[in-house]
Amino acid sequence: QVSAALKEGRVTPTELCQRCLALIKSTKFLNAYITVTEEAALKQAEESEERYKKGQPLGILDGIPIAVKDNFNTAGIETTCASKMLKGYISPYNATVVQKLLDRGAVLLGKTNLDEFAMGSGSTDGIFGPVRNPWSYSKQYKEKSVPKSHSEDKESDWVITGGSSGGSAAAVSSFTCFAALGSDTGGSTRNPAAHCGVVGLKPTYGLISRHGLIPLVNSMDVPGILTRCVDDAAVLLGSLAGHDPKDSTTIQDDFKPFELPDLTDVSKLSIGIPKEYNAPGLSSEILALWSKAADLFKNAGAKVVEVSLPHTRYSIVCYHVLCTAEVASNMARFDGLEYGHRSDVKDSTESMYAATRREGFNDVVRGRILSGNYFLLKQNYEKYFVKAQKVRRLIANDFVKVFRSGVDILLTPTTLSDAAPYTEFIQEDNRTRSAQDDILTQAANMAGLPAINVPTALSERGLPVGLQFIGRSFQEKQLLTVAKWFEKQVQFPVIQLEEVKRHDNGVCQHQKSASFS
């Protein structure tokens, strides 16, 4: 809708950009952005405006404000990964996905906040502080909150965004941008998408280039897409997918961008409900919602079957071992010599490296590096690392069997419950939380399958709850088509933010509009 508005001249790219920048300023308390590139964004918006004036926009994304998670390299802009290790690091190049967006005229507003090095499920463990869920300040949440006796308590009531792409999810959810890039290794895009009520797409591993995405787990990382509606996600996917010679893990098959059809007949669909996803700790609310969704498909004529993915409960353990092992390897590059933080210790190379890493990494990162090194020790290699790789195959095979039996799409919950209040969340440490929260999203990363979170309904506390669809490898079109149908059926409510001052009702309309396509 916004793209059409830009084309028709009802609003200009610079106006759009300025409104978004103003909104970012007024929602600063959310702490969604680490770096806001005001000047560069305005310049990009001006260039876009010139193109529209000449009637030569670069495409549907021309002039659309977007945000990028701070673990993607962006030329000339500080890229920190929310870590002291990379504070002050100015990337010399653009990640391929960032370059693709810029080439299509998108306006980069800034870099969003995350858990340090994308490790975490709350966006609470970065050096710039936690990200607040915009829904904490929504009318819907406030109406349902138990009234507190003191007014200061209102401040501590806020809920987390989920993680680790919390900043990106919060940015999209609070209307400061129309789409954002996140990364997904164990659910890092889908988890915050569910908590913030936005669409979070994890593409098939190998579809979108990881060149420029600071790696966590090379065999599972993918760039994630966060938008307000499924159609937008398809547009972004169309711009980003495809082989990249700079990333040899991208497949060489031709990718054709697609438009999503409006599905009316679901009778040929087979939806699988994996029973193991009724995991311990799943809130009864979400269980009910999941059931309701299954019924929705059944009543519309689709075939809904219960299926089994027997190794589901080991996926999180397997992830834990493989992730820490790859992290131990990937974090080895941070030694202070070529970039990033460098300690003042000068006695020897090793002592400088050790001091740099001691000063630069937080407890979570250090913990994972040490665990990873433990699992990779010669005496442990077979027992843990290779064992985990074998279990990974079993998990991937579970999915293959289910899809081979005729199921098209799997329907599962995305999170165990709605967003927790920050004060409650930090009572458990990062690793425990990640292990709890990643349970439902993690297996898709193990198997490399595409998955999407679609905001479904509001919980009793007035917070968003989403459901997840998992599809076959490289069948994003089918996955998104079903997701779009579902989105239309559930009519998820628009967030009603109170504390953000609104200026002009007319342009407000454009900003509040769910989509830009």
Partner 1 sequence: QKVSVEVLDHLEHLALVDFRDSEGVERLQKAIQFADQLHEVNTDGVEPMDSVLEDRCLYLREDDVTEGNCTKELLENARGTVEEYFVAPPGNIPLEKLQGRNTYLQGS
Q: Applying CB under 8 A, which residues contact partner 1?
A: 89-90, 92, 205-206, 219, 243, 245, 248-252, 311, 314, 317-318, 320-321, 324, 328, 335-340, 342, 345-354, 357-358, 361, 363, 366-367, 369-371, 373-375, 377, 383-384, 386-394, 396, 429, 431, 435, 447-448, 473
Q: Which of 69, 100, 202, 484 is catalytic?
A: 69
Convert 440-456 into a string of H (helix), E (strand) and C (coil).
Answer: HCHHHHHHCCCEEEEEE
Min separation Cβ 375 and partner 1, Å: 7
Min separation Cβ 63 and partner 1, Å: 29
Q: Which of 48, 91, 121, 188 is catalytic?
A: 188
Question: Cα 470–471–474 angle (5° rounding)?
Answer: 135
Query: Please, which residue, 187 or 455, has the CB nearer to partner 1?
Result: 187
Min separation Cβ 175 and partner 1, Å: 35
| Residue whose C-alpha is closest to residue 44's, from 83, 78, 77 | 77
Q: How far is CA 222 from the centre of its chain?
A: 10
Query: Please, which residue, 127 or 500, has the CB nearer to partner 1?
Result: 127
Query: Please, which residue, 53 or 393, has the CB nearer to partner 1?
Result: 393
Query: Please, which residue, 228 or 341, has the CB nearer to partner 1?
Result: 341
In angstroms, the CA 195 to CA 204 distance is 22
Whether the Cβ atoms of residue 464 and residue 194 lie closer than 8 Å to each other:
yes
Q: Using CB atoms within 10 Å of the CB of residue 434, give its burial: 0 to 12 exposed, 13 to 18 middle, 19+ buried.
A: buried
Min separation Cβ 466 and partner 1, Å: 24
Min separation Cβ 261 and partner 1, Å: 28
At residue 164, what is the residue type?
S
Query: Please, which residue, 204 or 412, has the CB nearer to partner 1?
Result: 204
Please report, in angstroms and rounded to a whole number, the separation of the first and last CA atoms in the chain.
Answer: 5
| Residue whose C-alpha is closest to residue 361's, from 123, 125, 70, 31 | 125
In angstroms, the CA 430 to CA 384 distance is 22
Min separation Cβ 473 and partner 1, Å: 8
In angstroms, the CA 182 to CA 451 distance is 14
Min separation Cβ 406 and partner 1, Å: 21
Q: Is 164 a catalytic residue?
A: yes
Query: Please, which residue, 98 or 391, has the CB nearer to partner 1?
Result: 391
In angstroms, the CA 128 to CA 426 distance is 16
Query: Please, which residue, 190 or 392, has the CB nearer to partner 1?
Result: 392
Place of tokens 């917070």: 463
Q: What is the dihedral of CA 480, 234, 123, 444, to 10 degrees?
A: 40
Sheet strand arrangement including 303-307? 33-36, 107-112, 65-69, 179-184, 222-227, 199-202, 451-458, 464-470, 409-413, 270-274, 303-307
Q: Is 154 a catalytic residue?
A: no
Question: Cα 422–428–432 angle (5° rounding)?
Answer: 120
In angstroms, the CA 145 to CA 105 distance is 42
Whether the Cβ atoms of residue 251 and residue 100 lie closer than 8 Å to each other:
no
Whether the Cβ atoms of residue 451 and residue 478 lie closer than 8 Å to each other:
no
Min separation Cβ 448 and partner 1, Å: 3
Q: Which of 136, 138, 164, 174 is catalytic?
A: 164
Whether the Cβ atoms of residue 144 and residue 461 lie closer than 8 Å to each other:
yes
Place of tokens 């710039």: 128
Q: Is 69 a catalytic residue?
A: yes
Query: Please, which residue, 40 or 354, has the CB nearer to partner 1?
Result: 354
Min separation Cβ 35 and partner 1, Å: 16
Query: Please, which residue, 91 or 459, has the CB nearer to partner 1?
Result: 91
In angstroms, the CA 231 to CA 259 distance is 8
Note if the bond before 91 is cis, omega within 30 degrees.
no
Give the catalytic positions in this structure.
Answer: 69, 164, 188
